[in-house]
Amino acid sequence: MAEPILEVRNISKSYAGVQALRDVSMSVAPGEVRCLVGENGSGKSTLIKTIGGAVVADAGEIVIGGTSFGSSVHPVEAIRHGIQIIYQDLSLFPNLSVAENISLNGMIEQSRRLANWKEMRRIAQDTLDQLDENIDVDMPLDHCSMAQRQIVAISRALTQGAKLIIMDEPTSAITAEDVSRLFKTVRQLNAQGVAMVFVSHKLDEVFEIADTVTVLRDGQKVGDYPAQELDEDKLTFLMSGQNLEFKPFTFDPEAEGAPLLLETRALSLRDQFSDVDLKIYGGEVVGLTGLVGSGRTELALSLFGLNPADHGEILVDGKPVKITGPQDAKRYGISYLPEDRHGQGLFEDQTIADNVVVTVIDRLREFLGLVDNRKREGVWRQWIERLRVKTPSAQNMVSTLSGGNQQRVVLAKWLAPEPRVFILDGPTIGVDVVSKARIHDVVQELARSGIGVLVISDEVTEIMQVCSRALVMQEGRIVAEFKDLQSVDGSEISKVIAREENAEVVS
């Protein structure tokens, strides 16, 4: 075997008493694709930051291309020795051109004084050609799609002589089609001897691209496994240390005599969706899926009053109501869990407890309008326990939590008002399998308690696992309904979403 391009030996790191990494070793060979998997908080980020020099380990050794750097490597040294880390935000400049984004870093490293545009364009063009990518190098980066931006980030890494590129969750922000393009690029790079490390949550992708899978759990390495020897159940078990069971959910509102909680009749909003007839019964989990731009999120926002419809009716308990703002929606018992939990879901620099109670603050007031602290504590205790938020103290800032735990706090926040209809938009985006399974359990438990749940998701498997009934949107209309998800195959739904089948499907 060739000499490894990177070796980390017995790395340990703790933050404020929490052991983030314990005695972790890993070795990556040239031209290899390695996947680094683990639950949120298992130490993946800490490990890649240690390799890139952004975090200083407490103990251990980092060896890059045969050169030992002791327990910590300076970021510039890591780059000089061919290590490139592409974080999720990509660190690109939206206001500069593709050419500049690709070639600036290399020019800075050479301490250039003048910006040679011809040379920058040529370097960018050559690198893109090498990857068989056709992107206009003069285009401003903010005109590029997410997938193109990733290619730009990879190209930039290559111009700096990358021998190992580490990508942090590269597939969570791009479509399935773009993922396969990205993988094609990755294979090309491997053929040229460049090694890749993927940090990923999505197991099916891990199997598609990886040679070897390194699993971390609670800061310790579980082991390295050849990808062919693993399947989803096995990997899930390795990551979580337990077997997760997938429990399908069935519910027939008519047979159960369930109450009709929310109904829309010919609900429309110009340019976004039209003639939407939707029914949500107490006790069911309705899935709503469709491509980005099909109108699903816009529809959900309308039901919550953030994007009021201009035609049609909304009925709550059979009575027509007007919902023109979130306050109306709240009054009628409708809660909405937003897609973008950082932007809309959480106050990250406030405590976990405050985030949970913010939606019910009106109810916690005693006379004089002050907040009753005992009631307040009752609310957050109840929800933190019910949703099993993992934290030493509810008085910690939300930003100290891992992604999966943050998502549970968002859930708690919107469940605290005790809604009757709960809309979840992309509830498991960016969370690992284990957290995902727990969130699915919570959703089904909510439905069993009589709440009507609407889940919006891109993933057909998620819809199949968590919902009892599913709707598909296309260009602003509901085009198909699957009444009994146990009797359909996921691929049928995928076909309707991709518009390969265009009929009014009712099963």
Partner 1 sequence: MIDVNKTGRKLLQRHETYLVLLILVFSAIIANASDAFLTSGNLLSVLRGGSGIGILAVAFFVALIGGGIDISFPAIAISGQYIAIRTMLALQLDSIGIAFLISITVGIVFGLINAFFITRFRIQAMIVTLATSSLFHGALLEFVGTDSVNVGRLPTSITDFGRMTVFQFQTAEGPQGLSIFVGILAVVVLATWFLLQHTMLGRGIYAIGGDAEGAKRAGFNVTRIQYFIFGYVGFLSGIMGIIHVALIRYAHPANIVGDNTLLRVIAAVILGGTSITGGRGTLTGTMLGVLLIVLVDRHLIMLGVPPAWTNFFVGVVIVVGVVATHLRMKFEKHRRGELTVERAH
Give contact residues for partner 1 (rule: CB under 8 A): 76, 91-96, 100, 104-105, 107-109, 112-115, 117, 143, 272, 293, 297-298, 301, 306-307, 325-326, 344
Minimal distance, residue 95 CB to partner 1, in Å:
4
- In whole angstroms, give the CA distance from residue 303 to residue 92: 36
User: Phi and psi at residue 467, in whole multiples of 5°?
Assistant: -100, 160
CA distances from 504 to 239, 298, 457 (A): 41, 22, 20
Q: Please say which residue, 100 or 178, places its beta carbon nearer to partner 1.
A: 100
Q: Please say which residue, 236 or 335, places its beta carbon nearer to partner 1.
A: 335
Q: Is 392 helix (H, G, I), strand (E, B) or coil?
A: coil
Minimal distance, residue 437 CB to partner 1, in Å:
30
Minimal distance, residue 108 CB to partner 1, in Å:
4
Minimal distance, residue 49 CB to partner 1, in Å:
13
Q: Please say which residue, 89 or 245, places its beta carbon nearer to partner 1.
A: 89
Minimal distance, residue 249 CB to partner 1, in Å:
30
Minimal distance, residue 312 CB to partner 1, in Å:
18
Structure token digits, residue 484: 């009994």
Q: Please say which residue, 310 or 317, places its beta carbon nearer to partner 1.
A: 310
Q: Please say which residue, 94 or 161, places its beta carbon nearer to partner 1.
A: 94
- In whole angstroms, give the CA distance from residue 73 to residue 308: 53
Q: Please say which residue, 102 or 206, places its beta carbon nearer to partner 1.
A: 102
423 strand-pairing partners:
336, 454
Q: Please say which residue, 114 or 506, places its beta carbon nearer to partner 1.
A: 114
Check if the beta carbon of residue 339 is closer than 8 Å to that of residue 426: yes
CB atoms within 10 A of CB 274: 18
Check if the beta carbon of residue 342 is closer than 8 Å to that of residue 320: no
Minimal distance, residue 70 CB to partner 1, in Å:
23
Minimal distance, residue 87 CB to partner 1, in Å:
9
Which spans in 160-262 are helix H? Answer: 176-191, 203-209, 232-240, 253-256
Q: Please say which residue, 94 or 450, places its beta carbon nearer to partner 1.
A: 94
Q: Please say which residue, 93 or 246, places its beta carbon nearer to partner 1.
A: 93
| Nearest partner of 227 among 40, 42, 48, 35, judged by Cα | 35
Minimal distance, residue 100 CB to partner 1, in Å:
7
- In whole angstroms, give the CA distance from residue 498 to residue 491: 10
| Nearest partner of 359 among 343, 376, 373, judged by Cα | 376
- In whole angstroms, give the CA distance from residue 235 to residue 240: 9
439 strand-pairing partners:
none
Q: How far is CA 33 from the centre of its chain?
A: 22
Q: How far is CA 473 from the centre of its chain?
A: 22
- In whole angstroms, give the CA distance from residue 478 to residue 458: 15
Counting beta carbons within 10 angstroms of the beta carbon of residue 494, is it exposed (0 to 12), middle (13 to 18) or buried (19 or more)? middle
